[in-house]
């Protein structure tokens, strides 16, 4: 089943759109949120938990899987889908953001990034060609070009130089791709400078990718700048290709991104928050360790249909969390992931019924 993307419907008052992304491992209804499975697992959840929660696509991490257990081992054992027993679509990032996060442990070169492993200190060179090779060995449905994630803040000159490198690497990634069944996404960088972002679109789109991502956001810049980038640049991307806002995942940011025409999102927010006892509902965020929940006999969210909300109370979940029980992380994560999947289902329904603008206004008020 070759990769394809179809826009099914557009909202009359915003740039929101309903889509269908077809991949070798199944169809993804968009807009969609991708739970992050960094090391071949979404922390605290089994694949069947994710299926029940409504997840259609997961994100895997090239950097981590390359270092451990190794992309060649995963290839020999049948690819990432078989290795982690997830039969749905998978997107793998290039590893560029993780290498960027290493700080002093990495050095940017024209041919790639020289870095030290955070695991054992071994030295590696991640080139654009290597990033594609790793992702092809993993067998993901969607792969990302290697890019340089521009830090915040950065001067115009620093950003311009970084952008030139990202475009150069994008061309090398496109030339290195050998698997026609895998989609390859180009990444639009340019920091906080809208003129450079527009330049990135002008130089990246002609290379010819299956989808396009806005990278280098949610890296410390004020939220209004991230919103401005999303609103200004998204309409410049090809209308017939999926658009991906990388690493953005607060619910209000997702709703805003959808209104600008974004189709794909990913973030560690729901899983990481769950492990730290922060639970999402339609009206409030619950810090489950707080004493106010000690005798609360209600579910996390009365409107939620997840396994956790149908079977457990806030009082019990608080007890598990305070006691340090592993089950706390499992039940909390089940809820937060289902909350995000319900959000995406409600967004898609609102677009389908031509009421997304009202949905957005009501959601942001809450």
Return the active site residues.
93, 266
Which residue in 170, 168, 162, 167 sits closest to 192, CA to CA? Answer: 162
**Cα atoms in the Cβ-side hemisphere of radius 13 Å centred on 59:** 21
Cα gap 41→188, rounded to integer Å: 28
Q: Are strands 278-280 and 264-267 parallel, antiparallel or unpaired?
A: unpaired
For residue 250, is the peptide bond before it cis, meaning its omega torsion is within 30 degrees of 0?
A: no
Query: Distances from the Cα of 78 to the Cαs of 58, 82, 136, 140, 366, in angstroms?
Result: 18, 6, 12, 12, 46
Q: Which residue has the tokens 């920091």?
A: 191
Retrieve residue 9's tokens.
């419907």
Answer whether 127's CB lies under 8 Å from 146's CB: yes
Answer whether 58's CB lies under 8 Å from 35's CB: yes
Q: Which residue has the tokens 């697992």?
A: 41
Cα gap 155→92, rounded to integer Å: 30
Which residue in 67, 102, 116, 86 sits closest to 26, CA to CA? Answer: 86
- Sign for the CA dihedral angle at 138, 140, 146, 151 comes to negative
Cα gap 253→229, rounded to integer Å: 13
**Cα atoms in the Cβ-side hemisphere of radius 13 Å centred on 187:** 33
Query: Distances from the Cα of 31 to the Cαs of 6, 17, 96, 210, 222, in angstroms?
Result: 12, 7, 24, 17, 24
> What length is written for the chain?
366
Phi/psi for 341 (5° steps) reads: -65, -40
- In the three-class reduction of DSSP (H, G, I as helix; E, B as strand; rest coil), residue 287 is classed as strand
Retrieve residue 142's tokens.
């969607």
């Amino acid at each position: 089943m070759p990769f394809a993307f179809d826009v099914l419907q557009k909202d009359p008052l915003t740039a929101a759109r309903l889509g269908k992304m077809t991949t070798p491992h199944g169809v993804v209804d968009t807009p969609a949120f991708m739970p992050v499975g960094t090391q071949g697992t979404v922390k605290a959840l089994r694949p069947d938990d994710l299926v029940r929660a409504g997840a259609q696509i997961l994100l895997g991490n090239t950097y981590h899987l390359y270092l451990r257990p190794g992309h060649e081992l995963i290839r020999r054992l049948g690819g990432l889908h078989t290795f982690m027993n997830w039969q749905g679509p998978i997107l793998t990032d290039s590893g560029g953001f993780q290498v960027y996060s290493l700080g002093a442990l990495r050095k940017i070169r024209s041919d790639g990034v020289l870095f030290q492993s955070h695991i054992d200190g071994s030295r590696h060179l991640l080139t654009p060609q290597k990033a594609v090779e790793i992702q092809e060995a993993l067998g993901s449905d969607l792969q990302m070009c290697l890019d340089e994630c521009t830090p915040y803040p950065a001067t115009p000159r620093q950003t311009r130089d970084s952008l030139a490198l990202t475009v150069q690497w994008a061309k090398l990634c496109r030339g290195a791709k050998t698997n026609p069944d895998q989609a390859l996404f180009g990444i639009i960088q340019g920091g906080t400078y809208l003129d450079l972002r527009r330049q990135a679109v002008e130089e990246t789109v002609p290379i010819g990718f299956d989808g396009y991502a806005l990278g280098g956001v949610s890296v410390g810049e004020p939220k209004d700048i991230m919103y401005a980038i999303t609103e200004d640049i998204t309409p410049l991307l090809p209308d017939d290709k999926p658009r991906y806002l990388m690493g953005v995942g607060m619910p209000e940011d997702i709703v805003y991104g959808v209104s600008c025409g974004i189709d794909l999102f990913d973030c560690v927010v729901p899983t990481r928050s769950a492990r730290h006892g922060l639970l999402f509902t339609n009206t409030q965020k619950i810090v489950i360790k707080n004493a106010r929940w000690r005798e609360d006999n209600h579910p996390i969210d009365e409107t939620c249909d997840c396994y956790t909300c149908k079977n457990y109370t806030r009082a019990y979940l608080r007890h598990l969390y305070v006691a340090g029980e592993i089950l706390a992380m499992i039940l909390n994560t089940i809820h937060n992931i289902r909350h995000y999947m319900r959000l995406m289902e409600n967004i898609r329904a609102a677009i389908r019924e031509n009421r997304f603008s009202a949905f957005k206004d009501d959601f942001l008020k809450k």
